[in-house]
Amino acid sequence: MNTTAPVSFRSRGVERIVLGQPTSDGDGVKLTRVLTQPLQRRLDPFLMLDAFGSDAAADYIGGFPDHPHRGFETVTIMLEGRMRHRDSVGNVGLLEPGSVQWMTAGRGIIHSEMPEQEAGRMAGFQLWVNLAAKDKMQPPAYRDIAPAGVPALTTAEGVSVRVIAGASQGVAGAVERPTTEPIVLDLAIPAGQSFEAAIPAGHNAFAYVYGGEVDIGETAATTRVEVERMAVLANDAGASGVRLAAPAGATGPARVLLVAGRPLGEPIAQHGPFVMNTTAELHRAVSDFQRGVLAT
Ligand code: FE
């Protein structure tokens, strides 16, 4: 007989809720650092999540002038506004609303990200994904993904899903990466509706709420996560993923960035824009940068 067992979905719960830290980076760009260094081990392979969003040009006009990276990947998700990217490999790209840039720094890249507007709103995210030790010194790579290049779907419940990385509901994302196998979904969940995202049991995962609020977990035991909070999702070997529900009566959809990845389990050594495995490798990165050979 060829029968299919009924599929029952079990959701991860919320282990803790994290409020980001206001800070600035680049040339005075105001942002909120949501995933900070103390969480790098817990959320391995993710090293950082910054959220930025401001209507005031003074908060972003300085941009991010030339700076180096080595040893990991940066993912820039633009929601509103425009930024111009230039790098030492010769790539030039425009980040516009709805676009995604996936940059693999590898052994070294020097780049700038400068606003291409003098007024109006600028909003989005930057996520850092670690590279395995064996991949840290690979040649740099860069992909600019236009808004139409990010696969999107709408569920029967009206949930809109932009599949930035990994896969969701059978739709392959714009980016698939080996080793860390990241899943990055940008969700809009209408009031009163819910969404179940499959996440491999071994992945570390978190959800950042950037609009409205969301209830996470099994129906009988949800945790309410308010706007501008990150929920660290519990690692539960029996869970098939996470259920996110937007409370009924909300004025707009809940907006959530859902991120999951397979942990590397390797030592993490960070010095600013360099993330390696050992202090000696960090010294080498600083020295290479100072000697002008980091990105050659
Ligand atoms: Fe950068």
Task: For residue range 47-90, list pLDDT tens digits in order.
Answer: 999 999 999 999 999 999 999 999 999 999 999 999 999 999 99
Rounded to the nearest whole angstrom, what is the distance from the C-alpha of residue 38 to the centroid of ligand 1? 20
- Rounded to the nearest angstrom, the distance between the alpha carbon of 68 and the centre of ligand 1 is 7
Q: What pLDDT score does 296 carry? A: 84
Measured in Å, residue 176 CA sits from the centre of ligand 1 at 21
Q: How much is the pTM? A: 0.96
pLDDT band at residue 4 under the 50/70/90 scheme? low
* Average pLDDT of the segment spanning 258-283: 98
The per-residue pLDDT for 178 is 95
User: How many Å lie between the centroid of ligand 1 and the Cα of residue 118?
Assistant: 21
Q: What sign does the dihedral 278-283-289-291 (CA atoms) show?
A: negative
Query: Mean pLDDT, to the nearest integer, of 131-142?
Result: 97
- Ligand 1 midpoint to CA 228 (Å): 23
Distance 75 CA to ligand 1 centre (A): 10
pLDDT of 81 reads: 97
CA 69 to ligand 1 center in whole angstroms:
7
Give the pLDDT score at 138. 97
How far apart are the CA of 267 and the centre of ligand 1, in A? 22
Please, which residues have CB within 8 angstroms of residue 188's CB and are 6 or more apart in sequence?
159, 160, 211, 253, 254, 255
58: left (phi over 0), alpha (psi -120 to 50) or beta: alpha
CA of 120 to the centre of ligand 1 (A): 22
Q: How does the average pLDDT of the chain come out, rounded?
A: 96
Residue with tokens 């698939």: 176
| Per-residue DSSP letter, 92 | E
Residue of higher predicted confidence among 5 and 88 = 88
Q: In angstroms, rounded to a whole number, what is the distance separating the alpha carbons of residues 169 and 149?
A: 17
The DSSP call for residue 113 is: E
* Ligand 1 midpoint to CA 112 (Å): 7
Angle 142-148-154 (CA atoms, 0-180°, nearest 5)? 120
φ, ψ of residue 39 in degrees (nearest 5):
-100, 0
Percent of the chain with pLDDT over 70: 98
Mean pLDDT (whole number) for 85-108: 96
Residue 189 Cα to ligand 1 middle (Å): 31
Instruction: State the distance from the centre of ligand 1 to the C-alpha of 85, rounded, in angstroms.
Output: 9
Span 204-216, pLDDT tens digits: 999 999 999 999 9
Let me know the angle formed at the C-alpha of 284 by 283 and 290, rounded to the nearest 5 degrees: 90
> Quick one: pLDDT at residue 6?
56
User: In angstroms, rounded to a whole number, what is the distance separating the alpha carbons of residues 45 and 166?
Assistant: 14
CATH topology of domain 14-290: Jelly Rolls (2.60.120)
pLDDT over 90 at 241, yes or no? yes
> Is pLDDT above 80 for 1?
no
Mean pLDDT over residues 142-154, rounded? 97
